[in-house]
A and B are shown apart, each in its own frame.
Chain A
């Protein structure tokens, strides 16, 4: 897996780690962006990891584009010798699947969907060969996910399923994007899950909603007082299915400033993960709140 380098105008260096999505490509993107950050190259103004690529914005008045390229290429050869290990955190995200709000929205935009007679979850379950929607939800909530990119709009996480490729859920986006998506919708497009950080247009299938805000520009939410964006690339997410009662309760707790997300610091080792994916994931999940 050799990086492909290209300049995005005179201010961006664009690096594609692989054409295809894989945990290895994401991991390379994340570890290289970490290494670029640590190297403190003068003139770098933004370091943005994506799913299987990354981008560095720089000031060409301070560092010449060719020098920028050489610095990052040198980091690539050094990075290939380091252990594929990162310090990160695992977070439990409560999800009310099949909630009334995304249901109302998906019914409003049925004519833009591949299968107007089914719900988004029914469609996704069927094309991924799950017998029932409940089985599909169990799979979506059954393994952890890597936040492989934060962006599109403010604070929106893209998440990649931490299972081997044959078990990976894949669902196409809507035929035509919707003009509306409820805030905090759990979405799905291609091989990525996402959480819509704000209300707005969207093309991902809608599976449910979380009561837990992930972007707060006013920084009034108790756990977003230090910074308005919750997610960071490299976070590991585990979805926890909840019902209406727990959803309502959590919304109240958030409003009262009494909700604290379940978060634990973890070390992720790609080699150990690949040796025994299910066993490794089970140990990761066991570390949420030290349980």
Chain B
């Protein structure tokens, strides 16, 4: 069974829940930017939550199915069409052989997730089917899908159409988006005034926002605590001796535009970091469009762990829909 790509969209990649274990060699975890949305899509079609699906950013693909299939589309709000007829999102949909799945214009959010019963069956690369294009690794031939590709699909476990995830269980960023941040890492490198400004200011998503990182602008420039730069760090006050970068860490090159590293993060480099977005809010970043107003909300470790527990509880409620 295969799915034929009639139009790939802007950048559509095969993603699962990622490949942990190789960040020390510069190979990032990757996987769905919005993991909750991918898990939900997979549950809807009876897959393992970590099965590989398609992640499409801003523009949906056109796909022709060569056999009957069960699919679900979650994530961003984007009209879903089967042979031109609109269908509901966050719902298991029956597709007949020969039908074409396509999409209307993006409304809110940034990324849709398309799960197909059986999962996208590309070969595992270092334990994952996620696409890492910089390393030409994983996914469909190590790259985003292209016109006329034929995507292999695994054997479906058998699930039924029509099931849906209630509106209340679909997590979306607010307006403005709020991202919870645990200060740390090189927080001591900026002044107390900057400590306040960073959380007081309203930022917005810059056009440079992708799977590697999201850039923000609009807040006041950061002020650094003066020091003689350490040996090997470079001359700019925002430079450090090249270190590891955590996922979600916020670096601010030159003290002007914060960049949050995401699933395809570079593993290290020479820019100081002011703190880290909590793991629970990484999914939300994946749904931010350029120009989205964004606030950073300061939390301590207890707050970060509470956010994590809340997200886990939400996932449990989604799972209970299928129990």
Contacts and interface: CB of A to CB of B under 8 A. Distances in A.
B304 to A, nearest CB: 4
Interface string A56-70: 010011000110000
Contacts of B234: 172-173, 190
Contacts of B231: 20-22, 165, 191
Interface stretch (B52-60, B61-69, B202-210, B244-252): B244-252
B26 A150 contact: yes
B124 interface: no
A156 B28 CA distance: 13
Given A20-B230, A151-B266, A151-B267, A50 B304 contact: no
Contact of B268 (A57, A152, A155, A228): A152
B7 interface: no
B21 interface: yes
B183 to A, nearest CB: 9
Contacts of A232: 25
B25 A51 contact: no
A217 B125 contact: yes
B74 to A, nearest CB: 24
B232 A51 contact: yes
Interface string B13-38: 00000001111111100000000000
Given A45-B21, A53-B244, A217-B136, A9 B305 contact: no
Interface residues of B, number: 53
A232 B187 CA distance: 30
Nearest to A53: B243
A133 interface: no
Contact of A192 (B242, B247, B267, B280): B242
Interface in A148-199: 149-156, 158, 165, 172-173, 190-192, 197-198
B108 to A, nearest CB: 26
Contacts of B216: none
Interface residues of A, number: 55
B218 interface: no
Interface stretch (A10-18, A80-88, A251-259): A10-18
B291 interface: no
Interface stretch (B40-48, B89-97, B169-177, B271-279): B271-279
Interface string A36-78: 0000000001111111111101001100011000000000000
Interface string A1-43: 0000011111110101011111000000000000000000000
A52 B241 contact: yes
A229 interface: yes
B148 to A, nearest CB: 22
Contact of B232 (A21, A46, A49, A154): A21
A191 B23 CA distance: 23
Contact of A14 (B25, B184, B232, B305): B184
B88 interface: no
Interface in B210-255: 230-235, 240-244, 246-249
Contact of B23 (A18, A48, A52, A156): A48
Contact of B277 (A9, A48, A190): A9
Contacts of B187: 6
Among A48, A60, A191, A232, find the residue whose CB has the most chain B CB atoms closer than 10 A: A48
A198 to B, nearest CB: 6
A100 interface: no
B157 interface: no
Contacts of B249: 8-9, 12
A200 B241 contact: no
Nearest to A192: B242
A155 B25 contact: yes
15 contacts: A10-B278, A10-B279, A10-B301, A20-B230, A46-B21, A53-B241, A53-B243, A53-B244, A65-B301, A150-B26, A151-B26, A153-B26, A154-B134, A215-B135, A229-B27
Interface of B: 20-27, 125-126, 132, 134-137, 142, 182, 184-185, 187, 230-235, 240-244, 246-249, 266-270, 273, 275-280, 301, 304-305, 307-308, 312
